[in-house]
Amino acid sequence: MNKKFTVVELFAGAGGLALGLEKAGLKTIFLNENNKDAVKTLIKNRPKWDVNNEDIKNVSFKGIKADVVTGGFPCQAFSYAGKKLGFEDTRGTLFFEFSRAVKEIQPKIFIAENVAGLVSHDEGRTLKTILKIFREDLDHYDVEYKVLNSVDFSVPQKRKRIIIVGTKKGIKFNFPKEHNKIITVGEALKNVPKSEGTTYSEKRKRVMELIPPGGCWINLPEKVKKEYMGVSINSGGGKRGMARRISWDEPCLTLTTSPSQKQTERCHPKETRPFTIREYARIQTFPDDWEFEGSISSQYKQIGNAVPVKLAEEIGKEIVKALKKF
């Protein structure tokens, strides 16, 4: 029987990355996560996983042996949706902790993922600094990165992520090849189980009822448009995510941590409501039996922050290939 390659996962969240790697044949031996609800989600679904609920700054990884270290260090500091504070934001320095864990564990490969906005944040200086620190701190690893769009890997969602890969000398990792088929929301939500979800206020619902599938605020009558958008109507940027109703025959826009806020609406194609928890999970390619713990808003947040399972699985397959050849 083939030995399974082992993984330590940091900032594990609700398990999207770990589950995808498991599907690719990797064995997760230790996960660290600070959010109590996400920890409950992990334990509920995988009671045998060794899940540690601790601030990573207080965790020592000395003595832990693993082939792979993975994790999406918190990205709020780098996200376009955030205030773009980067290194001024303490969350923006958690990649230092990721680097420390790699140094202590000495895996053959490490995978760090983050929002695609990291590439252009502060005119590229943030990413340049992160790569510099990885390359200097972990000088016996070759470090490269690529932006992958989840929609290219059988995920029914346009969701770009930067994948930073470090390999020990002599290991050749190839980024996964894009799939030919695009999965639509209609295909993804076929026979989706009924579940809880948030709702719109009556006022918001009246506005959203005027939006056709695939449409957004620009489809509103002029008077409603001005009232709904307020000062945002004259601001720059695409704004196409505002008052957005998804169409059955397209992939979803990037799921956020809340499907009902004005800036991040993801309205159901037919019914005038946000996507439910199970619909959110399907769009992130979680299996229907993966249960989420905590309040409804906490569950949305866990799913919205996750790495899509199918994207993680494709990355996992390439990790396995690279390690088998080493």
In this prediction, residue 84 carries a pLDDT of 56
Question: What's residue 238's pLDDT?
Answer: 56
Active site residue 267: no
pLDDT of residue 82: 52
Q: Which of 75, 216, 252, 267 is catalytic?
A: 75
For the chain, the domains span: 6-178+307-325, 185-303
How is residue 217 written in tokens? 């605020």
Q: Which fold has domain 185-303?
A: DNA Methylase; Chain A, domain 2 (3.90.120)
pLDDT tens, N- to C-terminus, the chain (326 residues):
468 999 999 999 999 999 999 999 999 999 999 999 999 999 999 999 999 999 999 999 999 999 999 999 876 555 555 555 555 665 557 888 999 999 999 999 999 999 998 999 888 888 888 898 889 889 899 999 999 999 999 999 999 999 999 999 999 999 999 999 999 999 999 999 999 999 999 999 999 999 999 999 999 999 999 898 887 777 655 567 788 999 999 999 999 999 887 777 889 999 999 999 999 999 999 999 999 999 999 999 999 999 999 999 999 999 999 999 98
**Would you state the pLDDT for residue 93?**
76
Same fold, 6-178+307-325 and 185-303: no
In three-state form (DSSP H/G/I as H, E/B as E, the rest C), the secondary structure along the chain is CCCCCEEEEECCCCCHHHHHHHHCCCEEEEEECCCHHHHHHHHHHCCCCCEECCCHHHCCCCCCCCCEEEECCCCCCCCCCCCCCHHHCHHHHHHHHHHHHHHHHCCCEEEEEEEHHHHCHHHHHHHHHHHHHHHHHCCCEEEEEEEEEHHHHCCCECCEEEEEEEEECCCCCCCCCCCCCCCCHHHHCCCCCCCCCCCCCHHHHHHHCCCCCCCCHHHCCHHHHHHHHHHHHHCCCCCCCCCCECCCCCCECCCCCCCCCCCCCCECCCCCCECCHHHHHHHCCCCCCCCCCCCHHHHHHHHHHCCCHHHHHHHHHHHHHHHHHC
CATH superfamily, with its number, for domain 6-178+307-325: Vaccinia Virus protein VP39 (3.40.50.150)
